[in-house]
Structure 1
Amino acid sequence: MEFTRFLDCLAADYDRMRTVVGTDADAAVPTCPGWTVADLTRHVGEVYLHKTVAMREGVEPEPWPPKEFAEEEPAALLDRGYTALRAEFATRAPGDAAAGWYTPDQSVGFWIRRMAQETVVHRIDAELATGRPVTPVPDDLAVDGIDELLKVFVSFAVAEWGEYFTEILDGSPGRTFLVRAGDAVWRVRTGPGEFAVTDGAGDGGADVTLSGAPEAVLRRLWNRTGTEDDDGVRVEGAPEAVEELRRCIVVATQ
């Protein structure tokens, strides 16, 4: 995706989220246990401001968030965070250097992509919490979100912080997963200390195949389906293998 496209998606999902969070601040967020809509709103505002500071100062600020943020009304914090984030993006090129936890890509472009994906997931959270219809996720954004989740979150986390995945992967017999989202396909190989992702179906069979429309697959992998009855995703494979993939994603994204 082009960076201008990411920014357009970010704007659209922020606008939708901002409308929704103003309707029921006390509603529980089913996809973020223990959070209310107000907590979700505050979180996104804090994330926006954190990334703004990381770009501006060249280092991710710690500790975070500042104590004074707790005194600010959640929607006002969200508005302030979004305004600051967009202003920072407007002053920089995607290729400019920026601090971040993902060492292979220390650029402003990384945060443009990440904030677009952060916002669409939390926009879905807000809609599920308030009982609003979930606005469709464009196919290109959903496919990119799946790619980011598998490669930037899970594969990178297993390589960098493998100790957190020891309980999940050390007993793995070595499994292959195919994730299909429309025309896009990823092949995932797991095993002790391994979570390797390649584009395309590759050769040979798979222990698990997960397939569906891009939005459905994105929401299933991020556990944003809202219901397990029929989310439009087809899963074929042994339950213990499916669980291995799920647990890796949970650890990498918590």
Structure 2
Amino acid sequence: MKRVLLVDDERWVRKALMWSIKKLNLSLQIVHECANGLEALDWVKQNEVDLVLTDIRMPVMDGISLVKELNELERNVDCIVISVHDEFQIVQQAIRSGVTDYLLKPIEEEDLKNCLEKWLNKRKGIVEESKVPTIYGEVIPTSTIDQVLAYIEKTPLKQVTLTDAANSVHLNPSYLSQLFKQQLNTKFVDYLTELRIQEGKRLLLNTTLKMTEIAERVGYSEVAYFSNNFKKMTGYSPSEFRKSTKSQKI
């Protein structure tokens, strides 16, 4: 059983979370609850815990400060923060501070279950990995965006969507969209369009596939939509691009 500490300044929220977590029947034990970050920090210094589930906004010491202080302790403690929808900047700061995951209020039971199961699987994976001797040193965890890019790379373009990409890293789509823009300085949809047009170029040059087949392969259900985007990006229609390139080769 993994040991969990609940931190929230509202007692009824802590009780509701405790009840919800117990209802999930996961390998988790709520060992203590605290009303603010400072109280939680003092408790962690004297006790063993695997996971801290904490609200962001609290008096005395907020959740972000608590996460930073826990990192300074260099204890093997993971943190999941709880926020509301309009706290994107704060959540982003929490992620940079090293939180494992986050939940949005009001917390849906399914979201809570997925979040905690993901954390349990991660912990299990760390334990399994620690049993295997490594030759090249420590494994450096990839960032959330790196994981998203890896997901896009291994997934056929016609299957890639913002929702599925967000699900692959357990984020909601709107948050991933903002995170993508801030870290890569481009919108998710624009990044995906660029990949689709580049793949379209490759297929136009190296295959004899019909336009409808190419459009479908790169993720466009309508060839006209593919052609319009292709011309916006390259200045040529797909058929013009294929003819001009072939004539250049000749």
- Fold equivalence (TM over 0.5): no
Using structure 1 for the length normalisation, give the TM-score. Answer: 0.29
Which structure is higher in RCO with an 8 Å CA cutoff and minimum separation 6? 1
TM-score for the superposition, normalised by structure 2: 0.30
* Rg (Cα) greater in structure: 2
